[in-house]
Amino acid sequence: MWPIADGATSRSLVPHSAGVQGRSRPCQCLVGSFLLRFNIYTPSWVVRPGGYCWVTAECSPLLPHVETHHRRDAAPFWDETHRRLPRPSRPAGDPLRSSEGCYQLYPGHIPTSPLQKALLAAGSAFMALCDPYRHDMVAVLGETTGCLALPNLRDKMKHHPEGYRILQERPRIRLSTLDMSKLRGLPDGSLGREYVRFLEDNKVSPDTRMPPKFVDDEELAYVIQRYREVHDLMHTLLGMPTNMLGEIVVKWFEAVQTGLPMCVLGAAFGPVRLSARKLQVLATELVPWAIRSGRNASCILNVYYEQRWEQPVESLRKEIGIFPPPAVRV
């Protein structure tokens, strides 16, 4: 049953005859400018014949308390709050529990209930609409709303030879894995040279892509991580800059390709910030092209880009099925 007040003693989620003892503890989670407060039932060990079993617990949300300011720093907004939570004792020899006292499916994972995911999704969606450049909010929105799209993307990768190999080898696109000097030395028009040119012209880095935290499946967490790390390559292949218009066009392409609600939301509501002239160009030329390319192209996650740096961009576009971009100024 749900705890009824902040700090109140909680009731067990299973019959008391099962031997469960527990207590509730207050915690909080900052979502944009909203401080969501929770009572979390602390699970305990239940003695069973032949060993121990773990009893999971749920959370009950209390009323949100609105902060008087927005956090503008680039650090993940939940880390500081999460570190402040009381840390329950960890049974010896329990490799599945983190130092925070909860199960971690991968480094940095924060287990959340469906209700918590809904609250995080609502708060992050609101903040992302207010400020589309809040990449931390966009990341949380993608993780908490991708429960249907991410398994579909994983299945597409598993049924494709190159995608399956990516899932097995788990390559990462980061400065530590890229030979930037070698990529700069590639011929103009090659994927590697144009990718580095895009990074330098727009002053962006692949290391700014946040690791997943709220995806409750280790393989799906890699899928969304891979999607984030190839996002800049989508800009390169589509020939789109990182300004608002360029991001909206890429979001339309990604929405058709991935089905992620976060991409659909960005594609649908991003144009409200554009001028009338840019809206006309977007509606008449860029969006139709992005939708046609997204439908025609094979899954963008099934390309082992790290092994295609020397391939010409035009050749890779044809291979994937991306139509040449319109001759308009973005």
Cβ pair 298, 321 in contact under 8 A: yes
Does 247 carry a binding-site annotation?
A: yes
- The H helix count followed by the E strand count for the chain is 14, 6
Distance of CA 163 to the CA centre of its chain: 19
Does 135 carry a binding-site annotation?
A: no
Cβ pair 299, 157 in contact under 8 A: yes
Cβ pair 236, 195 in contact under 8 A: yes
CA 116 to CA 39: how far, in whole Å? 12
Residue 53, SS3 per DSSP: strand
CA 259 to CA 146: how far, in whole Å? 9
Closest of 249, 260, 262 to residue 292, by C-alpha = 249
Cβ pair 178, 206 in contact under 8 A: yes
- The tokens describing 283, both together, are 């509606």
Which of 265-273's residues contact partners 24+ apart within 8 Å by CB, and which partners?
265/125, 265/128, 265/129, 265/141, 266/128, 266/132, 266/138, 269/129, 270/132, 270/244, 273/132, 273/244
- As annotated, the binding site includes 231-232, 235, 247
- As annotated, the binding site for Zn(2+) includes 231-232, 235, 247
